[in-house]
């Protein structure tokens, strides 16, 4: 502090406002607990990668402190200026990197770790019982779920806070309606008087289903058949391997309750503007039959999981860019981290 400033302070000739201006300029007011100290503390990088289907979500950060006295915490535990952590929560959780000086704190960055599980089924005492997935089909399902979920934008992950994504693998010898979350569909059809539905099938023969909120739980469950994930002797797949899994898993990210009404309506608008004569990815009539199927087929194309070999050239990001750029823009908003 200059002698002149010291003298002015001593004589009361300097105002508090002027002293604050000196502090803001980086002068001696950058003391413990000062607003300038926290203001100058910043996360220069903060990355979130992987997810529950690959062992956990990884967080990596770098922080520049505004003064040495700044204390850092991540998820409530002491953290270093350059640090990392892995989290695999039982329910989708947001984690925060926080700087504290004295009684003042600020959030430097935050990220969301999804919760997810993969289940196989075994037949016991006259019913199918879910068990932790450990087979080759579970590994295939985890790889697809991991590829898609790790690409999600932060708002899409936050929409699932408190929830757990469950992938259920339908045994090749079982029906979808044999599994507890979907028993209620027994005896009903896929169209169920839905406008525009083009393929009415009994749910018992369907080999995959999109996100189902299990009543009374925090579970958001979907299912794909084992033979649709890995080659199964005596049980041929109905689609190219992986397609049903990618299609059904992606349904959740346009489902009501997990996306804003405005975003869902914007995808509906894109579909309506395309019209019935446009070229759609895969089987045109099916893809354009509803906004949900349009989204799910577009997602499968973005991640290159083709419906059928004859459509391989369409299930690519480059095809979407050339033929349906409006849908691609919506997909990129939800899956930017590919």
172 and 56 in one domain? no
Give the C-alpha distances (Å, rounded to integers) separating 155 from 137, 141, 174. 30, 24, 36
Q: Domain ends where: 58, 87, 113?
A: 113
Tokens of 74: 């991540």
| Three-class SS of 208-228 | EEEEEECCCCCEEEEEEEHHH
The pLDDT value given to residue 206: 94
270 and 162 in one domain? yes
152 and 269 in one domain? yes
Q: Give, for 317, the enclosing helix (H) or strand (E).
A: helix 317-323
DSSP secondary structure letter of residue 258: S
125 and 46 in one domain? no
The pLDDT value given to residue 142: 98
Q: Which of 227, 180, 225, 185 has its CA nearest to residue 207? A: 225
The pLDDT value given to residue 20: 37
308 and 186 in one domain? yes
The pLDDT value given to residue 10: 38
pLDDT in tens, the chain (338 residues): 443 333 333 334 333 333 333 333 334 444 555 689 999 999 999 999 999 999 999 999 999 999 999 999 999 999 999 999 999 999 999 999 999 999 999 999 999 999 999 999 999 999 999 999 999 999 999 999 999 999 999 999 999 999 999 999 999 999 999 999 999 999 998 887 677 676 778 899 999 999 999 999 999 999 999 999 999 999 999 999 999 999 999 999 999 889 999 999 999 999 999 999 999 999 999 999 999 999 999 999 999 999 999 999 999 999 999 999 999 999 999 999 99
- Its domain, for residue 186, covers 116-334
17 and 121 in one domain? no
Tokens 């990884």 -> residue:
58
Separation CA 328–CA 302 (nearest Å): 8
The pLDDT value given to residue 258: 94
Separation CA 119–CA 168 (nearest Å): 5
198 and 154 in one domain? yes
Q: Domain ends where: 60, 93, 113?
A: 113
138 and 262 in one domain? yes
Q: Is 120 helix (H, G, I), strand (E, B) or coil?
A: strand
Q: Which of 282, 271, 197 has its CA nearest to residue 247? A: 282
Q: Per DSSP, what are the bridge partners of residue 333? A: none
The pLDDT value given to residue 197: 75
Residue 293 neighbours by CB distance under 10 Å: 24
The pLDDT value given to residue 193: 65
Q: Which of 137, 182, 181, 163 has its CA nearest to residue 52? A: 163
123 and 107 in one domain? no
143 and 73 in one domain? no
CATH number of domain containing 274: 3.40.390
212 and 260 in one domain? yes
94 and 20 in one domain? no
Q: Domain ends where: 77, 92, 113?
A: 113
Give Cα 320 to chain centroid, integer Å. 21
The pLDDT value given to residue 26: 39
Total domains, the chain: 3
Tokens 């391989």 -> residue:
312
Note whether 172 and 227 are within 8 A (CB): yes
Question: Which residues, at least 6 apart from 121, have a Cβ–Cβ distance to it below 8 Å?
Answer: 128, 129, 130, 131, 168, 169, 170, 171, 174, 179
Note whether 298 and 326 are within 8 A (CB): no
Note whether 101 and 38 are within 8 A (CB): yes
Separation CA 60–CA 47 (nearest Å): 5
- pTM of structure: 0.87
Phi, psi (degrees; rounded to nearest 5) at 38: -70, -40
The pLDDT value given to residue 63: 99
CATH number of domain containing 68: 2.60.40
């Amino acid at each position: 502090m200059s002698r002149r400033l010291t003298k002015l302070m001593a004589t009361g000739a300097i105002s508090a406002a002027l002293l604050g201006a000196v502090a803001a300029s980086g002068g001696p007011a950058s003391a413990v607990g000062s607003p300038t100290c926290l203001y100058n503390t910043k996360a220069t990088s903060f990355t979130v990668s992987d997810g529950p289907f690959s062992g956990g979500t990884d967080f990596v950060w770098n922080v520049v402190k505004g003064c040495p006295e700044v204390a850092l915490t991540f998820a409530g535990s002491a953290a270093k200026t350059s640090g990392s952590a892995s989290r695999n929560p039982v329910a989708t959780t947001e984690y925060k990197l926080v700087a504290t000086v004295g009684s003042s704190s600020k959030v430097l960055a935050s990220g969301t770790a999804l919760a997810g599980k993969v289940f196989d089924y075994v037949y016991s005492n006259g019913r199918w019982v879910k068990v932790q997935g450990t087979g080759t089909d579970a590994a295939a399902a985890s790889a697809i779920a991991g590829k898609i979920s790790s690409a999600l934008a932060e708002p899409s992950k936050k929409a699932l806070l408190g929830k757990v994504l469950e992938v259920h693998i339908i045994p090749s010898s079982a029906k979808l309606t044999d599994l507890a979350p979907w028993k209620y569909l027994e005896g009903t059809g896929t169209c169920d008087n839905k406008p525009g539905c083009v393929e009415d099938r009994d749910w018992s023969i369907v080999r995959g289903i999109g996100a189902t909120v299990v009543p009374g739980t925090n579970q958001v469950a979907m299912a794909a058949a084992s033979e649709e994930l890995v080659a199964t002797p005596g049980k041929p797949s109905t689609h190219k391997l992986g397609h049903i899994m990618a299609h059904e898993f992606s349904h959740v990210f346009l489902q009501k309750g997990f996306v804003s009404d405005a975003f869902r309506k914007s995808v509906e608008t894109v579909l309506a503007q395309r019209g019935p004569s446009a070229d759609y990815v895969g089987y045109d009539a099916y893809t354009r039959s509803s906004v949900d199927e349009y989204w799910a087929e577009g997602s499968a194309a973005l991640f290159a999981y083709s419906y059928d070999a004859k459509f391989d050239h369409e299930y690519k990001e480059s095809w979407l860019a050339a033929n349906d750029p409006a849908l691609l823009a919506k997909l990129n908003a939800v899956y930017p981290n590919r």
